[in-house]
Amino acid sequence: MRAYYEVEEAALNSWPALQTSSCGGWLVKSNRGYTKRANSVQPLAHNGKDIEQLELKISRCEAIYKRSGQPAIFKITPFTEPEELDAALARRGYVIADPSLVMVAPLNQLAPQHAGDGVLVSEQPSAAWLQLLHEWGGCGEEALRITSMMFEAAQLPRQFALLHAHGRPVSLGLAVLDGEQMGFYDILTAPDSRGKGHAKRLIRHLLHWGAEQGATQAYLQVVSGNGAAEKLYAGLGFTEAYPYWYRVQRG
């Protein structure tokens, strides 16, 4: 399982928060409430030696989020340190949210393919890309503004892609490169164009870009139970690597 640590680290780097602080080896990410991925504690290292120190660290994290007016959230993965954290949060009344899967695949098994003139790509999201993220993904106006700020601050190589078919946009997505790891985010298709292979074509185009940049492995995250997404990614060659979930503080 430790073989996937680099994937988790790349996922952490690829979705930055507007503010990040350190708490005894944990990263505390705050993003004005938009997405748990950017508003949660990433407990990848622990310097404490007993349960008392663990409880103190949890309380410190809770205080940080309380000052920003939101509940504390912890991301729990197979790499969480210490292993007792999930049980400690459960005892404090934290509830599980958004159980998900990380899926991975070697790029040489994914058939990267340039999609030609049908895909518009850029290093920054276009106004059209953001508008369709709002329409297709239900991203509210405030969340869209925060997303734009996140993207402006991000430093890693990336490609925002918008696929067209029959004269109109039908699918969008984002790929981020961190070393040899390539992550996919916000893969969305127009509601009336789903099930026609557009997302698969878009992903293969982004894989072509990643391969040119030296990526050797691709990863993505999908909410558990999203059968359509899991089928799509499995059809491309992705396999399950590890699960994760969030623990959310009750109000």
173 within 8 A of 161, measured Cβ to Cβ? yes
At 135 the pLDDT is 93
Helix, strand or coil for residue 119? strand
Among 52, 83, 100, give the residue marking a domain's end. 100
Among 80, 100, 120, give the residue marking a domain's end. 100
Overall average pLDDT of the 43-57 stretch: 86
Residues 17 and 96 in one domain: yes
Residues 67 and 115 in one domain: no
* Tokens read off for 243: 């699960």
Inside any domain, residue 247: no
Phi then psi dihedrals of residue 95, to 5 deg: -110, 150
Q: Model confidence over 57-69: pLDDT tens digits? A: 999 999 999 998 9
Inside any domain, residue 118: yes
At 251 the pLDDT is 73
Overall average pLDDT of the 207-235 stretch: 94
With CA atoms as reference, report the closest residue to 9 among 223, 217, 234, 233: 217
Residues 113 and 75 in one domain: no
Residues 13 and 56 in one domain: yes
- Which ranges of the chain would DSSP assign to H, the alpha helix? 5-14, 51-67, 85-91, 127-137, 141-153, 198-212, 227-236
At 2 the pLDDT is 65
* Tally of domains in the chain: 2
Q: Is the pLDDT of residue 48 over 80?
A: no
**0.85 exceeded by pTM:** yes
Range of the domain at 224: 105-242
Residues 132 and 209 in one domain: yes
Q: Model confidence over 114-167: pLDDT tens digits? A: 777 789 999 999 999 999 999 999 888 888 888 888 888 888 999 999 999 999
Residues 89 and 151 in one domain: no
Overall average pLDDT of the 226-233 stretch: 92
